[in-house]
Structure 1
């Protein structure tokens, strides 16, 4: 209990709230950076390790299974040891992975280091939205929650830009660069500085006030709440106390209903996570450089196109941040679903009708421009809707009692879905073709519209204790 009921706390400080939210969102930056940095190195990995398409596919996809593991266990760990300590562990995993992947001797130890990084990615994917939601005032929570996705897309953009710059400086990702070390190795080592910065930031920012209340550290919680929301701090702590059930630790069993199945709201979170991935967005960010090369673009042009796509993603996420608390979550998701359905349909038709040369569809002239524009419009539609808004909703829709655990389940399912999409894309490419693959993603986008229409309720402006 708060010992001194008359204590006067400082007024709310929005700059402080923004600062700690941005620090937490560094996990999102590393999430995006770590998953995208392999894009520019894939062709060089084939050559460096004499790898097959199967082992390269594992190098990309097994890291995602590591992310599923990290996401699943991050929630219970965060409930037991705190959000901050979990962030620091994730920082260590990112750093170790970056060093190991860049120094790998063969494809299998490279895969091991990527899995280690994947565990860090999974943990960051759970902790950042949970922490940001728990420290944000209700009227700012949508925008601050969108920082997670903004950080992810900036991380993707910076990773692709690093790939492009390093490959350009060396002439190719497989060529020697600084100190005679292959350029692709420097691509992975470029993750070390932000990984260390994330850990340092975690040592500075305060613990989540809702976690502190659950640990009966209400005086510390009151100090944090006074800085981030101001007003009647004592009443807010009473509300939090009622929802976090201080008498026992949260458990995964809290996610079960009386009949033994998952709570309906957990299924909603799982549905959001599955559909965010099944629309195929990560095909663009994991395989785009070799995808554009496969249809006639050079290595450097393909990498430059991925940089443009990354920049498009950032701009649209900024748009989402500006409007998510004004227009709400549900309208943005519905509009994004419509846009993705249309643009994926255009890409499916374009690639299905492209002439086949040497067994590959080849785009040139107007068709090449149309495919490029449609791909970036698709990223635009995802970027202002399903990219940021899903993370905002996953931080909001679960009540205080189950938030970390439910987020862990939803995020781990998201990584499994990402794994499925990433591992099935190469076989789809060689069997049914690129056009049919995009048609499948377009069907998922259409389904996402009806999922939102029937199952998603608006959360704009609601306090977390109302969920």
Structure 2
């Protein structure tokens, strides 16, 4: 197998963590439509069950920093795969066992721990095995895997749901939807044992010879040795920093962490997961679709999400990160203007559906993959593990906030269709405001990372905020 082929194969295995991220978060869309009826949940409790996994995501992301540093990126991915498997098996406990809302929440939190860990470990691992000129494209494999997970789970929930009656889906079907995740869980768990360890982590723990072997398998010979030299130089600076104290509290470092964290927050405040988690409710309550059509419409969402991610994959290293954010932001605003406007004017129909699809397409080609690319490469080597862990934790915190409050805003008096002032449009107006802020934030604070090595980016940050010691 060629070096390029092997690099892609290893990237695909690591990116399975992203597929399970998408699958595990996407499965809640189809299942919540039915288990909410089974457990007779009100809006606040529905928000809690749906968003409970995000508590685990936040904790998992915070734990990912020390875990990936001390145990390695590969070992962290194996732990994440194990947590995914436990969650999938437990979330769909059969009726003859004492299933309850509390027990469901516990297993969802366990799955969230796996998501939080994988969401930091997988893109970090990919970024560290990839050559600089291919890093953007390869890291977008992770986001492609995420949207593939969403698409696959929407297909699975659709076919599972069609094999049960509406009543059977409320009692049994949603359990099988959760269990369907066991297949990719076991695949990920098995394949992860066969990928090499991160060369940067190997140098970090003193295994330079093994790291060189890994890079020689994946990079050209001269490029591999150059990469080793750059890693050693960076780690030498990092060790000197550690002798002086924690670099993460330096004045020159704090702004970088804040920028990464705010970028993560904006990714969630675009409203993407409100649409992906509550798509069933949006189609049924806001757009007037019947229950039999809800799962089918989710497939349409997943397909658009999947297809438009390819645009980002093939343009992120050509056009750059910031231009894609600008283009995608305009598209997301357009989509929500169509959806929110049609709701406000009581003109729900094809325009509303097009609005949802335009929003999904715009996010998939911009903030979806580009955020992960930027987070995997923007932080200086000295603080990458801890800084990315913090930024990803903030992202999950934002995800939790949106997921918990969305159904409450939808059902608030001000937003009630026909009787409320906003007539169902309020959530989308709020999301539009955040997307506008995202455009200005990107222009002022985000550094374009296209085509630059991780070490070059560190020098750029030092020029802007001062030397990182």
TM-score, normalization by structure 2: 0.90
Q: 2:360 aligns with which of 379, 402, 420?
A: 379
Q: 1:463 aligns with which of 441, 453, 461?
A: 453
1:166 and 2:160 are equivalent in the alignment: yes
Is 43-52 or 395-404 further displaced after alignment?
A: 43-52
Q: Alpha-carbon deviations, 1:301-333, whole Å to 9, x = none?
A: 121111101100111101110111111111101
Aligned partner of 2:142 in structure 1 is 148
Q: How many residues align?
A: 440
CA distance in 2, matches of 1:387, 1:38: 19
Aligned partner of 1:206 in structure 2 is 196
CA distance in 2, matches of 1:163, 1:114: 17
1:98 and 2:88 are equivalent in the alignment: yes
1:333 and 2:329 are equivalent in the alignment: no
How many angstroms does 1:290 deviate by?
1.7
How many angstroms does 1:256 deviate by?
1.8
Aligned partner of 1:224 in structure 2 is 214
Secondary structure, aligned partner of 1:216: coil
Aligned partner of 1:13 in structure 2 is 3
Q: Alpha-carbon deviations, 1:186-240, whole Å to 9, x = none?
A: 1000011111111112100000100101111000000111122223233321210
Secondary structure, aligned partner of 2:163: helix
CA distance in 2, matches of 1:234, 1:185: 51
In 1, are the aligned partners of 2:334 and 2:355 still within 8 Å (CA)? Answer: no
Q: 2:262 aligns with which of 251, 259, 271?
A: 271
Secondary structure, aligned partner of 1:89: helix
Aligned partner of 1:415 in structure 2 is 396
Q: Alpha-carbon deviations, 1:261-300, whole Å to 9, x = none?
A: x522111111110100001011111001122111321122
1:280 and 2:271 are equivalent in the alignment: yes
Secondary structure, aligned partner of 1:139: coil
In 1, are the aligned partners of 2:83 and 2:113 still within 8 Å (CA)? Answer: yes
Seen in structure 2, the aligned counterparts of structure 1 residues 248 and 71 have a Cα distance that, compared at 3 Å, is farther
In 1, are the aligned partners of 2:326 and 2:439 still within 8 Å (CA)? Answer: yes
Unaligned runs of 5+ in 1: 1-10, 355-362
Counterparts of 1:174-213 in structure 2 under 5 Å? Answer: 174-175=167-168, 182-213=172-203
Aligned partner of 1:390 in structure 2 is 371
Q: Alpha-carbon deviations, 1:90-109, whole Å to 9, x = none?
A: 01100000011010611110
CA distance in 2, matches of 1:20, 1:195: 17
In 2, are the aligned partners of 1:160 and 1:307 still within 8 Å (CA)? Answer: yes
How many angstroms does 1:156 deviate by?
0.7
In 1, are the aligned partners of 2:56 and 2:113 still within 8 Å (CA)? Answer: yes
Counterparts of 1:80-91 in structure 2 under 5 Å? Answer: 80-91=70-81
Q: Alpha-carbon deviations, 1:16-71, whole Å to 9, x = none?
A: 11011111000000000001101111132133334333322211111111101001
Is 83-92 or 398-407 further displaced after alignment?
A: 398-407
TM-score, normalization by structure 1: 0.91
